[in-house]
Chains A and B, each alone.
Chain A
């Protein structure tokens, strides 16, 4: 049974998840772009492109001009995203997957770096969740999707870390759970806030371009 389940998540399950993910993302991003913006008839005071690109670049770094609450969210958010990114793209086992699917590969990072990144990412996520509960404003702003997307992003990290260390369950069980949790994430991502993994740079460009057009230099 265990082997059959593993076989399913490595085969049919992954095919379905990848297809839904790619379909959903292509559909949502193209649809978003096709909505377009109303043409502004005003005379431009600056360049849309340089404003857009500048914002895309600048928002990729921590800004220190924030309140204490904001600082916590931003810094924990950055730690999570960077940790997640490193474990996803630089663990040798993941590179093997990309090699098999995309025929692309690159050097892996040492296991120590991966371990630290994963622990930081997990820690940051837990801290962010606690903060979401404790902070009255954040709690009020949160809806079910925030908790759902948190859980969907947290599970692959947690099961992946347990798998690397073989904590709690057998390797095969953890491997199956890990792959299944990623598939769940892939299937749901395009239709929730998680679609920001692609839309975030588009929307940053939009914001920057609007400001650039008006000649606002931020």
Chain B
């Protein structure tokens, strides 16, 4: 396998102009909250770096994350990801199949040992030895542990790889876990979302290539530049929330006036993601602009947090039944203890010895 070319060479081959490359770098700088002047520095570095080898493993997933990346119309920021890296294995996108595909993965792992980036989408089932998801006869668990050995860093793409996602939801029949539950000795970056915003994946890779290190992460292992704020922090409907103006149904007057979707189940206040600023579909809009609340897809356990349409104050468990049962037990206990009290009182009254005149005379 020959040395990978630089991004500059690659872009020339693809007929992508320097102007659009610079635009891309400026956009990356803005997204990562770097000063605008850093765009040219990013461009200079990015153009010269060798495109790193990337091995992309897809485990227990729905391919939505890959779809999210590839459905964007080129040439966009998102599509740049495929120019920035040398994608040596991705079983949905690569032309090779069967043994040839697995061979490509093994070759890349050997050749770029210690240098390649490992991208993972999908969770890893570990119950019963991991038999619930296999590729070419090998369990996902086995494949991940092997591939992680030689990786420089691991990028967990999507909420399944980052937090376990849908397969991990109750009752989690396959024992699905996140990458970070299994790999402890490699830098891992979580790009959560169901699916994640494509531009965020590109941004993280651009950062990695420019600075040679992973960006600053939050306590969930997510890049702070994109997950530092909540949807609610940057939501354009926020003034309505603050005024207490809420849409009550999806087609009432409030909904038509663009009022806050909190009561219709919006989880924006507890969800960290860049949707409200980076937006989707090439910066067109994000779900709240289409009148639907945020479902909290970039947070751990979002599938188990009750209905997407239940507002945040609503309990996630059956409180009414618990309270009813408690009321019955309380009433029974009160009656029982009350009866015992009464019994004691009567007994005390009956066993009271009466003072007689003789008693007084006794002394």
Contact = CB atoms under 8 A, between A and B. Distances in A.
Interface of A: 1-4, 6-7, 10-12, 14-16, 18-31, 34-35, 92-94, 96-97, 99-102, 108, 110-111, 114, 170-172, 175
B322 A96 contact: no
B338 A34 contact: yes
A31 B270 contact: no
A18 B299 contact: no
A35 B305 contact: no
B270 A111 contact: no
B313 A93 contact: yes
A20 B310 contact: no
The 3 closest A-B pairs by CB, nearest first: A26-B330, A30-B334, A34-B338
A22 B327 contact: yes
Interface in B177-222: 219
Interface of B: 219, 230, 232, 242-244, 246, 262-263, 269-270, 299-302, 304-306, 310-320, 322-327, 329-331, 333-335, 337-338, 341-342
B220 to A, nearest CB: 8
Contacts of A2: 219
B334 A26 contact: yes
A12 B317 contact: yes
A102 B320 contact: yes
30 contacts: A1-B219, A3-B300, A3-B301, A3-B302, A6-B305, A7-B301, A7-B304, A10-B316, A10-B317, A12-B317, A14-B315, A18-B322, A18-B326, A26-B326, A26-B327, A27-B337, A34-B341, A93-B262, A93-B311, A93-B312, A93-B313, A96-B263, A96-B311, A96-B313, A100-B310, A100-B314, A108-B244, A171-B230, A172-B230, A175-B312
B314 A96 contact: yes
A14 B299 contact: no
A23 to B, nearest CB: 4
B315 A100 contact: yes
Nearest to B306: A10
Contacts of A16: 322
A28 B337 CA distance: 11
A18 B230 contact: no
A4 B163 CA distance: 12
A15 B219 contact: no
Contacts of A14: 315, 317, 319
B316 A7 contact: yes
A120 B95 CA distance: 69
A92 B315 contact: no
A15 B317 contact: yes
A188 B180 CA distance: 39
A111 B239 CA distance: 12
Contacts of A29: 334
B272 to A, nearest CB: 9
A23 B313 contact: no
A8 B260 CA distance: 26
B327 A23 contact: yes
Contacts of B311: 93, 96, 100
Contacts of A24: 330
Contact of A30 (B269, B270, B315, B331): B331
Contact of B330 (A4, A7, A22, A97): A22
B345 to A, nearest CB: 10
Contacts of A3: 270, 299-302, 305
Nearest to A14: B315
A4 B310 CA distance: 17
